Chains A and B, each alone.
Chain A
Amino acid sequence: MSNKLATLKFEQLKAIKWRDVLISTLMPVIGVLAFILLWHTAAPNINTSLGDFPQPKQVFEQWGNLVDEYNTEQDRADAFYERQEKRNAELLAQDPAAKIDEREFNGRPTFFDKIETSLVTVLSGFFVASVIAIPVGILIGLSQPLYNAINPLIQLFKPVSPLAWLPLVTIVVSAVYVSDSPMFSKSYIISLLTVSLCSLWPTMINTAVGVAGVSKDLINVSRVLRLGWFTHVMKIVLPSAIPMMFTGLRISLGIAWMVLIAAEMLSQNPGLGKFVWDEFQNGSSDSLSRICLAILVIGLIGFLLDRIILILQTYINWDKSAVVR
């Protein structure tokens, strides 16, 4: 009897579990499949100057092409270095004191090189933004007068589009950043600064709100202990502001990634933005598929960046019970 009851309970449990599994894993799959189906059927009906809108299959084929391109480029690089080494060895054999040159292979950046460039640019722009936004956010969160002084500027510059910043940044960088052997290319610096200018604000505002919102009780604890300013900030203010700070950082990184693509298009930084722009200018029969592919990759990378911040947040946040989405 009790055995029967146990199995019954087990069955019930299993049934509940299955429903959860269905909802949490099957539904996303169904959603994606429905989208692909819709795309597949709708695409042939859209006739563009470059032929029909590409179907999922064609876009996926471009992935193969881009991988092939990458492999060819890799082979060419290997061959180049082999030749160079051989030549140098011969030179050295003739004359041990010969001046040999070691040059870098200067191939065309492939799709994957462009992804790398974009990632490096967005992360450096995001880093610069955070290094400015977090300390400023802490200061204006701690001091109401300072907040009142800076808030109008935040409100003024926050809604400015990257496309408006870019010409200004370009001209200023061209004027200020002059060097015979620049360590970074101008397009990199321009994209980076534009990304920083646009992604600064959410981190700044959220940090300030987090800092200003420290619970009154904890402030009283700090007052009773008569903690010094630095200890107060490090032990009480910063930890309680961390959840808000991460909310800001997540929004900032999302904005940074969006802004970057636009900035790269216009500044010709050799990243994904330029890839899309070049394909648009190119106008070959493959272009549409490649742009579609780039969009999917951009979306996927944006998603992964968000996940990384989320993981960092769960790792750093003291409140392990907090639900992060």
Chain B
Amino acid sequence: MMRFILRRTLQMIPTMLAVILIIFVIFSVVPGSFITSLMSEGRNATNAQVLSHLNEQFGLDQPLPVRLWNYLSGLAHFDLGISYRTREPVWNVIEPRLWPSIKLALCAMGFAAFVGIPLGFLAALKPGSVFDSGTMVVAVSGLSLPEFWFGLLLMYVFALNLGWLPSFGYQPGSIRHIILPAIALGVGPMALLARTTRAGVLDVMNADFVRTARAKGLAEPRLVRSHVARNVLVLILTTMGLQIGALMGQAIVIEKLFSWPGIGSLLVDSVAVRDIPVVQGAVLVIVLWFLVINMLVDIAYALIDPRIKVS
């Protein structure tokens, strides 16, 4: 198992390199730079001397391949560079944002799983029923609603009208603050999970081994527990993994809306001022999260499904 994990970790390296390369190229061709954005903020940076001094200080006077090489060799020492804006190491800017982001992603996924999976299960056990159709209508709406709009709606109802929950902000241990953003972020994955669970259950219920289980005389609850649930879990694990992995990236809008101090809002703020090292760092974190989650999903697979060889 350790070798399996090691191998999957090593496999992440080429992906990361490709991502770094793409980000690097993209941000070297986008118009605007930190310096021009400084100027647009009205600071006195028009002076050519100041400009070249800044360029020199951040190594921007060097050709792209050299900059890329410097960046990569910095990464090898876990050095993400220096933020243009705060002049701090990028890691120091990102690090306090990590936990709020992870917490939000996990809570959103928790909501999605605890609501979506049972809904899908119940819908599948009585296919064609009112409950089934109702659930699927909700699921489709959940998938098609813009999360931004849904977030606003939640804010309006539960924060402004009812006053039950705070409408924005973050407090380190506060559960009340995370509820609305987590639901707003989790509603899409919840809908998707409900649908995939329903499809998965229907699929497994039609499997030959479920017919065998019926022929053995198993009562329905036991049949679902010991011959359907785990098999469905295997089917929906991929969906869940992809969803949690993507959540940190998807959280950008919601984090901004709820003033949540996560990676997503950091990314938005940094793009606005062309703080490229921080943008790169934030994107790297989002990608790394995705890859790590996928690795965890693979490990979970190996643990649940005996047909998957670990060697």
Q: Are these two chains actual partners, yes or no? A: no
Interface residues of B (CB under 8 A from A): none
